[in-house]
């Protein structure tokens, strides 16, 4: 009895949240500061630059718009997969989660086309400070997408065994994974206009 960690499945009576939910929000707070540092760099570099290009003149806006759509669609399928678990429908959960993972992969494929196109034209991060920040921020965001896909794929396949043992804890985990995935979407929502449209 005594050696068990409390509030893994059930929310704490006072704070009203489970450990994993509070934990993932703390992690996201830290992520906000990580991207905050990069955005701060972007603002400072752009402010000091005299020849900063317009994103729409040098980057592929249609492709990025498509990617934005892909990512927000994956966000809604993610939240629907969680809602399916709340309705105790594991089949629907699997379907939505599979779509989420596929959309995540689609995002990466489209992104790699975008990068490939740049590399073909010998455009690397070292070309200018604009490309440096473009590759760094979208690259770091891409790493976050990869991380999210790994987590989601885990919960789609081996991780979903937990459903049969403790549905409540599993639903909590999917909510936590969802929070992370929405955050990745949220970062893109800012990256897209700032890098591509201005």
Partner 1 sequence: MSHHTHAPSADHGHHGEHALPFWRKYIFSVDHKVIGVQYTVTSLLFLFFGFCLIMLLRWQLAYPGQPLPLIGQFFPETQMISGIMLPEFYYQLGAMHGTIMIFLGIVPLAVGGFGNYVLPLQIGAPDMAFPKLNMMSYWLFFIGGVIMLASFFVPGGAAQSGWTSYPPLSNIAPPGQTWWLVGMAFLINSSLLGSVNFIVTIVQLRADGLSFFRLPFFVWAQFVTSFLLLLAFPPLMAASVLQLMDRVAHTSFFMPTGLVVNDQLAQVSGGGHPVLWQHLFWFLAHPEVYVLILPAMGIVSEIIACNTRKPLYGYKALVYASIFLGFMSFIVWAHHMFLTDMGITMSAFFQVTTMIISIPSVIILTTLVLSLWGGSIRFTTPMLFALAFLPMFGIGGLTGLPLGLTASDVHLHDTYYVIGHFHYVVAPGTIFALFAGVYHWFPKVTGRRMNETLGKIHFFFSFIFMNCVFMPMFIQGLAGVLRRMYDPMQYAHAQPVQPLNEFISVSAWLLGLAQIPFIINFFGSIWRGKKVENDNPWQATTLEWTAPTPPPHGNFAHPPVVYRGPYEYSVPNARQDYTPQTAKEVL
Partner 2 sequence: MSGHTEAEIKKHVRTYIAVFAALAALTVITVAISYLHLSFGPALALALAVASVKAGLVALFFMHLITEKKAILWLLGFTVFFFIVLLTIPPLFHH
Can you tell me which of 109, 150, 157, 198 binds partner 2, judged by CB under 8 A? 198
Helices (H), the chain: 19-47, 55-58, 61-86, 90-120, 129-156, 162-165, 167-191
Q: Which tokens is 2 given?
A: 């005594």
Can you tell me which of 20, 59, 78, 93 binds partner 2, judged by CB under 8 A? 78
3 state SS for 111-151: HHHHHHHHHHCCCCHHHCHHHHHHHHHHHHHHHHHHHHHHH
Binds 112: which of partner 1, partner 2, none (CB < 5-8 Å by kind)? none
d(CA 8, CA 198): 45
User: Does 16 interact with partner 2 (rule: CB under 8 A)?
Assistant: yes
Nearest approach, Cβ of residue 58 and partner 2 (Å): 13
Cβ nearer to partner 1, comparing 114 with 168: 168
CB hemisphere CA count around 127 (13 angstroms): 16
x/- map, 103-122, partner 2, by CB under 8 A: --------------------
Give yes or no for a contact between 85 and 177, defined as CB atoms under 8 angstroms apart.
no
User: Does 91 interact with partner 1 (rule: CB under 8 A)?
Assistant: no
Cβ nearer to partner 1, comparing 1 with 57: 1
Residue burial 23-40, b: 16+ Cβ < 10 Å; e: rest: ebeeebeebeeebeebbe
| Chain positions contacting partner 2, by CB under 8 A | 15-17, 21-22, 25-26, 29, 32-33, 36-37, 39-40, 43-44, 47, 56, 61, 65, 68-69, 72-73, 75-76, 78-80, 83, 86-87, 168, 171-172, 175, 178-179, 182-183, 185-186, 189-190, 192-194, 196-198
């Amino acid at each position: 009895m005594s050696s068990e960690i409390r509030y893994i499945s059930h929310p704490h009576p006072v704070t009203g949240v489970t450990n994993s939910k509070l934990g993932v929000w703390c992690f996201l707070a830290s992520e906000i500061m990580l991207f905050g540092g990069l955005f701060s760099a972007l603002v400072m570099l752009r402010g000091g630059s005299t020849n900063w290009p317009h994103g729409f003149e040098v980057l592929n806006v249609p492709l990025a718009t498509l990617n934005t759509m892909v990512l927000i669609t994956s966000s809604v399928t993610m939240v629907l997969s969680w809602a399916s678990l709340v309705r105790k429908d594991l089949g629907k959960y699997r379907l939505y989660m599979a779509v989420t993972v596929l959309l995540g992969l689609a995002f990466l494929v489209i992104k790699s086309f975008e990068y490939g196109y740049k590399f073909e034209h010998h455009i690397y991060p070292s070309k200018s400070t604009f490309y440096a920040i473009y590759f760094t921020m979208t690259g770091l965001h891409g790493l976050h997408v990869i991380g999210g896909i790994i987590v989601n794929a885990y919960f789609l396949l081996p991780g979903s065994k937990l459903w049969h043992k403790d549905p409540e804890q599993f639903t909590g985990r999917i909510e936590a994974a969802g929070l992370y995935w929405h955050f990745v979407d949220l970062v893109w929502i800012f990256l897209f206009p700032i890098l591509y449209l201005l």
